[in-house]
Amino acid sequence: MAQARRRSIGMSRPLIGLALGGGVARGWIHIGVMKRLIAAGYAPDVVAGTSIGAVVGGLYLAGHLDALEAWARSLTQDRVLTLLDINWGGNSLIVGEKLAAILRQYLADRCIETLTRPFVAVATDLQTGNEVWLRSGIIADALRASYALPGVFSPVVLDGAHLVDGAIVNPCPVNVARAQGGRFVIAVSLHSDHYGRRNGEETSAGTLHMGEEARRTWASTFESLRPDRLLLRQLFANIGTKTKGEPSLSSVMLSGLNILLDRVSRARLAGDPADVLISPPVGHIGLLEFHRADEMIALGEEAANEALPAIEARLSLLS
């Protein structure tokens, strides 16, 4: 019966917009959400994404969601660390070329205009603070600009503007999905339950736990650092440990970011709510725990499955 209703709705349903929010490693949840929505017959007609949400959404529309899923599931703690090409000078901690190269493997120089459905990656203009909607140009460049977290990745220069992570101004771009034609908008926010924990388990905002080989490599690097590299030493020195009491620099930075994005996201969603908000519990997942893709994809599928009755009911009112 439910499948019959979905087929009936699908024949006359309004355009579905999907807003995929930022959340760093938690973005793997988007993969699970999209898989379940597509399987249920609710493939989006319009996609707007911020940060990691832009990456997942852009690769989906380019036909590479399955490849992204396979790559995400292949990540280990040590492999994640090998993707961090440290910037020994300049305006960021990480150069980002290794990650950009992975995007280019899938997308080459393909442009947004070639996608079969509307897509927008949200970024922030570093000079003006304005929200920037990237709707044309090379997809890989737009994605890189959308996830360029200030201080971590260098700004991306497009059309003379220095662009950084769109989550600073619009963590979950519901308004963008509507503006691009989405009459019924499903949003996936990854900033609720910021304070959630598993059974009182102590966790950092995103600590990575490295294997012995990677630990030795980084330890060797630290030995050769000059005093002016103290910031990097402080940032990464506690990787792989769970210490009580005084938080590490990385914990302070990531917890601060988490709180900021949570507050901005709440404000934006209150002003422009989605028709259906998918907001899975994410407080137990660190912002840098990219190696937990299996768990996060399953969490996304579960969250989307729980939202299906609401999606079906509300779409039926508009059809």
What residues are annotated to the active site? Answer: 51, 165
- Closest by Cα among 6, 60, 21 to 311: 6
> Which residues, in sequence order, are CB contacts of 302 under 8 Å at separation 6+?
32, 280
Three-state SS at 227: helix
- Burial group, residue 120, by CB count within 10 angstroms (0-12, 13-18, 19+): buried
What does the alpha-carbon distance between residue 240 and residue 242 come to, in Å, rounded to a whole number?
7
CB 134 within 8 A of CB 161: no
CB 241 within 8 A of CB 267: no
Three-state SS at 11: helix
- Closest by Cα among 206, 197, 177 to 274: 177
What does the alpha-carbon distance between residue 75 and residue 291 come to, in Å, rounded to a whole number?
5
- Burial group, residue 165, by CB count within 10 angstroms (0-12, 13-18, 19+): buried
